[in-house]
Amino acid sequence: MSALLDALRAVVGQAHVLVPRDAGDPEFSRHQTDWRGRYHGWAQAIVRPASTDEVAQVVKLCAAHQASIVPQGGHTGLVGGGVPDASGQQIVLSLQRMKRVLSVDVANLSMTVEAGCLLADVQQAADEAGLLFPLSLASEGSCTIGGNLATNAGGTHVLRYGTARELCLGLEAVTAQGEVWNGLKSLRKDNTGYDLRDLLIGSEGTLGIITRASLRLYPKPASRLAALVACETIDQALALLTLARRTLDASLCGFEAMQAYPLALTLHHKPEQAKAARALMHTDVKGDPIAPAWTVLIDASSPHSQADLQAQLEDTLSRALQEGLIQQASVAQSEAQYREMWALRETIPLAEKVEGLMVKHDIGVPTSCIPAFLARAEQALPQAFPGCRIVCFGHLGDGNLHFNVQSPAGISDQSFLAQHEHAVNAIVYDIAMDLGGTISAEHGIGQLKRDELGVRQGPVSTSLMRAIKQALDPQGLLNPGRLLP
């Protein structure tokens, strides 16, 4: 394989082909393990091209040498989709050097960026032009726009703005043969055949390597506001969502729900980031804080003044209080408090990581079915696994819950995962699918859910997916063993 490595060095430069002898280098090591620390691999090399042309040359060389490619962006995925296998033969193609904002078109409400741009940098570039790129994730300081598109990331504002798919106008990508497909249009309407852009979005690097994207922007809101609200039941939270949709209308951007237990974990492991939760807490006889059964985070923005938006939100909360939907509420009084409220929600996954491994789920069901899903799952799981702890939070506004199951106290998280993950998944996924839902609402399939997808989607869907893969990547060199059942 030295011939391949030499050829790759000639394309991207000696410094940008890292090999196993660089294993002591953190820059090499971080590409081998996923963010959760669950999947570990070993690459033949980490290759870091700086342009679309270099990506195309790298792919052509790998195809000629029959070396499979694992594309990587910010490497923040949660389903093992960007980790090399253990063979030591795969090439990790990192797009981290391709991080330029190429243009911002204010009149067209669009911008063009390279795939390696951090999501936070895309947001900042839009903001500096007086506009908004609304995709927002807890990992926005480290995830890249190419990875966001490859996984069709959702985030916290899907309720108002949609997923990454809705925020993409056009793409440039390198095919499995090393050809450059230029679909980098900034049009809202283009009715000229198959939508190849949408085919690549969500394909997790199995059909092509996204190198550039044209993104949809919005006018920057004049005001934004958040509130934390205490509800006794998920039915109350759902009724509050209905009320907020009616009274806030397009101003409603996010509607997050958090059960008491994930807030307790956050308070325990990340108390500084969880201080906003204390506004709704009471104490037990020992003086320890107790969170409400459900805490809802409402996010709203408006082209009108902060005072007008605050009056609108407070009117909504006043109605909810009169109707018995909420017990109390705390409205952010400053930008700092706004950020603290969102920090509470976005820190939950970090607290989970400190707590230990869990059986993770990213299910989606019709929003109206959330109470039924919870009632059935929260009854079935403790019966099957006495003492298991449920860590439930997520995007109630779009029907997507992170419904995670922790081992009973005193039982190793690793042994619980090894022994019971499949059975836990079966219970959770059976209920979600029975309610017309999905096993993955935003994290993707990767390797974590690949076999599960093969079992749960119909044979026609699997056959069509395989036909597309065979047509676009007949050698099976792009991210093999991921996504496709």
Task: Return the amino acid letter for 96.
Answer: Q
Does residue 278 lie in a domain region? Answer: yes
- Dihedral of the CA atoms 197, 200, 202, 208 (nearest 10)? -150
**Which CATH number covers residue 43?**
3.30.43.10
Is residue 253 located within the same domain as residue 305? Answer: yes
Does residue 316 lie in a domain region? Answer: yes
How confident is the model at residue 56, as a pLDDT? Answer: 98
Q: In sequence order, which residues have a C-beta less than 8 Å from that of residue 114 and are 6 or more positions away?
A: 95, 98, 99, 100, 101, 102, 146, 211, 212
**219, 242, 259 — which closes off a domain?**
219
pLDDT confidence of 285, banded at 50, 70, 90?
A: low
**219, 246, 263 — which closes off a domain?**
219
pLDDT confidence of 1, banded at 50, 70, 90?
A: low
Pairing verdict, β 294-302 and 289-290: unpaired
The Cα 264–Cα 261 span in angstroms is 5
% pLDDT > 70, the chain: 98
Does residue 481 lie in a domain region? Answer: no
Does residue 369 lie in a domain region? Answer: yes
Q: What angle do CA 229, 235, 238 make, to 5 degrees?
A: 65
Full residue range of the structural domain in which residue 464 is found: 445-475
Q: Do the beta carbons of residue 377 and residue 431 sit within 8 Å?
A: yes
**Which among 140, 171, 170 is positioned nearest to 155, based on CA atoms?**
140
Question: Whole-angstrom distance between the N-terminal and C-terminal Cα of the chain?
Answer: 29
Does residue 53 lie in a domain region? Answer: yes
Residue 482 CA neighbour count, 13 Å, CB half: 28
Is residue 421 located within the same domain as residue 470? Answer: no
pLDDT of 347 strictly over 90: yes
Is residue 64 located within the same domain as residue 179? Answer: no
Does residue 440 lie in a domain region? Answer: no
Task: Return the amino acid letter for 365.
Answer: V
**Which among 214, 221, 193, 205 is positioned nearest to 151, based on CA atoms?**
205
The Cα 316–Cα 314 span in angstroms is 5
**The total number of residues written for the chain in this structure:** 485
pLDDT confidence of 485, banded at 50, 70, 90?
A: confident
Detail the DSSP E strand segments found in 190-250: 209-216, 218-219, 223-231
Q: Do the beta carbons of residue 110 and residue 217 sit within 8 Å?
A: yes
Is residue 407 located within the same domain as residue 283? Answer: yes
When divided into structural domains, the chain yields a total of 4
Q: What is the pLDDT of residues 296-318, one digit of tens each?
A: 999 999 999 999 999 999 999 99
Residue 252 CA neighbour count, 13 Å, CB half: 20
pLDDT confidence of 2, banded at 50, 70, 90?
A: confident
**Which among 472, 485, 450 is positioned nearest to 83, based on CA atoms?**
450
Q: Helix, strand or coil for residue 330?
A: strand
Distances (CA, A) of 410 to 268, 382, 383: 18, 16, 18
The Cα 132–Cα 127 span in angstroms is 6
pLDDT confidence of 23, banded at 50, 70, 90?
A: low
pLDDT of 287 strictly over 90: no
pLDDT confidence of 21, banded at 50, 70, 90?
A: confident
How confident is the model at residue 9, as a pLDDT? Answer: 97
The Cα 148–Cα 120 span in angstroms is 12
Is residue 317 located within the same domain as residue 301? Answer: yes
The model carries a pTM of 0.94
pLDDT of 24 strictly over 70: no
Work out whether the CA dihedral 133, 135, 140, 142 comes out positive or negative.
Answer: negative
